[in-house]
Amino acid sequence: MRLNHGKGSVKKRVVITGIGIVSPIGSEKQEFIHSLKAGRSGVGPITLFDASQFPTRIAAEVKDFDPGHMLQGTKILDSTDDRRVLFANVASLSAVDDARLTKQTVSELRGGVIFGSGIHPIVPSVESTIEQGMIYGSREEMRKKAGGLEESKGAPLWNRVSLGALSVARHFMITGPCYTVVSACAASSEAIGQAFKLIQRSEADFIITGGYDSMINPFGVQGFCGLGTMSSHNDTPQQAMKPFDGKRDGFVLGEGAGVVILEEYEHAVTRGVQIYGELIGYGTSLDAYSVADPHPEGTGAIAAMKQALKDAGISASEIDYINAHGTATIKNDKIETGAIKKLMAERAYEVPVSSTKSMIGHQVAAAGALELIATTLAMDNDFIPPTINYHTPDPTCDLDYVPNEAREQRCTCALSNSFGFGGQNSALIVKKL
């Protein structure tokens, strides 16, 4: 089916044909699916640096990450030691392989690379940050702790934000659209949405897209501790992240990368490859309200979701599942719940809503991509991921959050929300074929 798109044009259909994952609960597709079904938490004590001086000392780290087995023989290992960028490259290679593409075929097609990422660690210098008292500890201690935030080989600070997309494009010799979206927690959803639109307009046959991030470093942890947005349940890390629960006290940082291959439908059919789902709608908005807090009425969130529905040409009644932004902060969960109620009207209490962040933490710029992947794989395998650690009802959060256990249920159309700092909102709709 093709949909009208403006005067004298048609929308191309866009499908997901490849998936690549680097996550705290598994970086192989089947392991990731199993973990989602089992309600497995990836949260534990921070090991990437000494966090003993911080109020929050837990995070959802990627365990036993060894990029060598996938990146050996490429120029990527020689050009960067940035953990985040290595996440992006490993996930991209996995996604390309999953889509049954090769380096040669990719270079011959009309393709692109669009990623979402964070801006850190682009700071004036480690020295100036220490001088400003933005991190704990003595000058010498923090210089050692922040070693990974210095310029790494081959990548000046001003170029670090784009290095993931650039390195993937260089590796595959992709000469089409290549850029990085920086919109906080909505970044990777925005990147996927932008890629979706390019293929719809027939400006590309496929795009490698998604996002990557890790803010599990002294700068990131200190920043979020300063905002008072992170859980401090250090003694019970696996129970700390509890979206929509009445005793929630903030999120737990995660890290990783999620990459999908978006491909024009007829192109994918001709290749005879597996199709995980069809991306049918994308909405984006800005609250224009606060740097840190969402609009109390959820106006921006509602606008993004409504735009995604309009873009997809469907009504709210056709949504079977919502993967919520669900950060476990007091304000976000309450406001997102209210926004869903306004969107879904009388069906709000019938539609399952869950937060996969309860298991994988908050990947910030990578969150939207990993959550779209979780949504798509769950739909493909006929289950709904749970919201783990949900035990105490909150009268302001009273929807069906699929508490603690996955639910065997067939879904055909799902909405994935990403609402970022600064009021940057993005919503994606994926359909099962």
| End-to-end Cα spacing for the chain | 12
Instruction: State which amino acid sits at residue 43.
Output: V
Predicted confidence at residue 158, as pLDDT, reads 46
Alpha helices in 216-288 (DSSP H): 218-227, 265-271
Average pLDDT, the chain: 89
Report d(CA 304, CA 299) in Å as an integer. Answer: 9
Determine the pLDDT at residue 426: 98
Residues 6+ apart with CB under 8 A from 201: 5, 9, 11, 12
Q: pLDDT exceeding 70 applies to what percent of the chain?
A: 86
Tell me: the pLDDT tens digits for 278-294? Answer: 999 999 999 999 877 88
Q: Which two tokens mark 433?
A: 């074929």
- Residues facing 286 on adjacent strands: 424
User: Could you give the CA distance from residue 332 to residue 310 in angstroms, rounded to a whole number?
Assistant: 24
Task: Report the interhelical angle of 299-312 vs 330-344 (nearest 10°).
Answer: 40
When mean pLDDT is compared across 1-15, 22-36, 149-163, 359-373, the lowest value belongs to 149-163
Is the pLDDT at 273 greater than 90? The verdict is yes
Residue 36 has pLDDT above 80, yes or no: yes
What is the pTM for the complete model shown?
A: 0.90
- Give me the active site residues, please: 185, 325, 362
Q: What is the pLDDT of residues 338-360, one digit of tens each?
A: 999 999 999 999 999 999 999 99
Hey, what domains does the chain have and what are their CATH numbers?
Answer: 13-433 (3.40.47.10)
- Closest by Cα among 370, 375, 373 to 353: 375
Is pLDDT of 2 > 50? no
Other C-beta atoms within 10 Å of 179: how many? 15
Residue 261 has phi, psi (to 5 degrees) of -95, 110
pLDDT score of 164 more than 80: yes
What was the pLDDT predicted at 148?
42
Q: Report pLDDT digits (tens) over 360-369.
A: 999 999 999 9
Contact criterion met (CB below 8 Å) for 217 and 204: no
The CA–CA distances, whole Å, from 275 to 60, 153, 260, 271, 377 equal 30, 38, 11, 11, 11
Res 422: pLDDT: 83
Q: Please say whether the beta carbons of 237 and 216 come within 8 A.
A: no
308 burial via Cβ count (<10 Å: 0-12, 13-18, 19+): buried
